[in-house]
Structure 1
Amino acid sequence: MILNTIVEKLRRASKEDFKGRQFEAWLIVQAVTWYLRYPLSYRDLEEMFAERGFAVDHSTINRWVLTYAPLIEKRLRRFRKPHCGSIRIDETYVKVRGQWRYLYRAIDKHGNAVDFLLTAKRDADAAKRFFRKMLKDEPLLSPTSVGTDGAAPFPTAIRSAVEDRLLPLDPVHHVTKHLQQGIESDHFRVKKAMPRIGGFRSFNTARRTIKGFEAMLWLKKGFGFAGEWTVHSQNDLLAQIFGLQKVNKA
């Protein structure tokens, strides 16, 4: 019942999503999700659609990704499972215009997504911003156990979150390499489809596109729904949140 209510709200909100677009909605969603799901370039997708009789320029697909990747992330965010109370936090490197930027990420000990944040710097202020983003909407589900690596900004960020009442008064802070292996593997899963040569062209492009990469990983992991969770199941949910019958009609 709750799931049906969420889907119906999303379907009503999606009425204006594709207004004025030259191509049908299902093709746009298919192009965006293929880019976010697999290690494909925009030109790869241009050729793939040409094989199916659709003349779609790679620059058009790029604009679709920048528009709809954040929208997919926003709508799938509602389906995430609550974390179990024990989370793992780490940052990984992302290249933007030839410079390394930092993607802060958190999962719980079972691998369920918690949150993420792209930052220009790797310091205490960035870590504090990530903790606020991660915890501000979930005060009743504040983790009691936090695992990190030995990076200096994390203890400061944890203390700040406690002072802001976003964490309990005495959270357990684990600094153990063994416990971090899960999130380090998770970094690879979200980064494998990202641009490998030159990285992203701008910080805004990276921020918007990474929202889509993260959302597609959430989708692939599943949201605890009953039954087998296949690519077809994933596409069915994507279709529902955009008010479509199907995503892949080709």
Structure 2
Amino acid sequence: MILTAIADKLKRQSKDDFKGRQFEAHLIIQAVSWYLRYPLSYRDLEEMFLERGFEVDHSTINRWVLAYAPLIEKRLRRFQKPHCGSVRIDETYVKIRGKWRYLYRAIDKHGNSIDFLLTAKRDLDAAKRFFRKMLRSTPLLSPGKIGTDGAGTFPPAIQGSVDEGLLASDPLHYVTKHLQQGIESDHFRLKKNMPKVGGFRSFNSARKTIAGFEAMLWLKKGFDFAGQWSVRDQNDLLAVLFGIEKVNEA
């Protein structure tokens, strides 16, 4: 009953999502989900759709990803659960127009994704913005343990969050390479599908696409739903998010 109610609400909300699009909604979400889930280029998808009898230019698929990847992230976020009281925070590098930019990410000790933030700089202001985003926009119980690498920006960022009332007054901050290996491995799972040559073309396209990559990683990990969590189940949830009948079915 609850899932049916959610589906009905999302179906009403998404009635204009595909207004003016030439292709059916399930084909659009199929293309977007494939790009975000597998190491495929836009030209790869263009050929795959041509094999099925659909002529879709790779630039059109790019526009679909930029339009719908952030929507997938926004709608999946509502399924996130409160996390445990121990988090790991780290930043990794992303190439945009040939220059390295920074992606702040957090997971809990069980490997569940918490939040992310793409920034142009790796400094105290960026670290503070990430903590604000993480602590305000996710159903996260104020963590009592925070693991980071040795970057000097994290201690003042943590203290700033305490001063703003976003963290309890005495969180345990620890720096340990061993415990950070989990989030470093998680970076790889996220970045393996990103453009390999030259990186993203713009900061805005990187921000939107990475939101989709993160959301697809959330989807793969699951949301503590009972029972088996197969790719078909994941696709069923994507269909619910956009009020459509099917996704990734021949």
| Equivalent in the alignment of 2:34 | 34
| Cα offset, 1:137, TM superposition | 3.5
Q: Which amino acid aligns with 2:31?
A: A
User: Could you say what the CA RMSD is over the residues aligned between the two structures, in angstroms?
Assistant: 1.2
Going from structure 1 to structure 2, the CA distance change for 1:212 and 1:139 (only over 3 Å counts) comes to: closer
What is the rounded CA distance, in whole Å, between the counterparts of 1:240 and 1:109 in structure 2?
Answer: 30
| Cα offset, 1:100, TM superposition | 0.2
Partner-residue secondary structure (3-state), 2:78: helix
What is the rounded CA distance, in whole Å, between the counterparts of 1:42 and 1:48 in structure 2?
Answer: 10
Q: Which amino acid aligns with 1:180?
A: Q
| Equivalent in the alignment of 2:110 | 110
| Equivalent in the alignment of 1:177 | 177
| Equivalent in the alignment of 2:145 | 145
CA contact (8 A) 1:139 1:166 kept: no
| Equivalent in the alignment of 1:210 | 210
Partner-residue secondary structure (3-state), 1:146: strand
| Equivalent in the alignment of 2:91 | 91
Higher mean C-alpha deviation, range 70-79 or range 2-11 = 2-11
Instruction: Give CA-to-partner distance per residue, 1:217-238, whole Å, 9 cap, x none.
Output: 0000011111110100000000
The runs of at least 4 aligned residues of structure 1 exceeding 6 Å deviation read none
Going from structure 1 to structure 2, the CA distance change for 1:150 and 1:71 (only over 3 Å counts) comes to: same
| Equivalent in the alignment of 1:236 | 236
What is the rounded CA distance, in whole Å, between the counterparts of 2:64 and 2:228 in structure 1?
Answer: 30
Going from structure 1 to structure 2, the CA distance change for 1:167 and 1:36 (only over 3 Å counts) comes to: same
Instruction: Give CA-to-partner distance per residue, 1:111-168, whole Å, 9 cap, x none.
Output: 1111000000000000000000000145871111100000011001000000000000
What does 1:35-74 align with in structure 2 at a 5 Å threshold? Answer: 35-74=35-74
Are 1:168 and 2:168 counterparts? yes
| Equivalent in the alignment of 1:195 | 195
What is the rounded CA distance, in whole Å, between the counterparts of 2:12 and 2:68 in structure 1?
Answer: 17
What is the rounded CA distance, in whole Å, between the counterparts of 1:173 and 1:183 in structure 2?
Answer: 16
Q: Which amino acid aligns with 1:61?
A: I
Partner-residue secondary structure (3-state), 1:40: coil
| Cα offset, 1:2, TM superposition | 4.5
Instruction: Give CA-to-partner distance per residue, 1:151-200, whole Å, 9 cap, x none.
Output: 01100100000000000000010111111011000000000000011000
Instruction: Give CA-to-partner distance per residue, 1:40-78, whole Å, 9 cap, x none.
Output: 000000000000100000000000000000000000001
| Identity %, equivalent residues | 78
What is the rounded CA distance, in whole Å, between the counterparts of 1:82 and 1:115 in structure 2?
Answer: 12
What is the rounded CA distance, in whole Å, between the counterparts of 1:57 and 1:140 in structure 2?
Answer: 41
What is the rounded CA distance, in whole Å, between the counterparts of 2:172 and 2:210 in structure 1?
Answer: 30
The two structures have a TM-score, normalised by structure 1, of 0.97
What is the rounded CA distance, in whole Å, between the counterparts of 2:57 and 2:247 in structure 1?
Answer: 20
What is the rounded CA distance, in whole Å, between the counterparts of 1:117 and 1:234 in structure 2?
Answer: 24
| Equivalent in the alignment of 1:155 | 155
CA contact (8 A) 2:80 2:139 kept: no
What is the rounded CA distance, in whole Å, between the counterparts of 1:176 and 1:114 in structure 2?
Answer: 20
| Equivalent in the alignment of 1:22 | 22
| Equivalent in the alignment of 1:245 | 245
CA contact (8 A) 2:83 2:139 kept: no
What is the rounded CA distance, in whole Å, between the counterparts of 1:72 and 1:15 in structure 2?
Answer: 15
What is the rounded CA distance, in whole Å, between the counterparts of 1:241 and 1:55 in structure 2?
Answer: 26
Partner-residue secondary structure (3-state), 1:136: helix
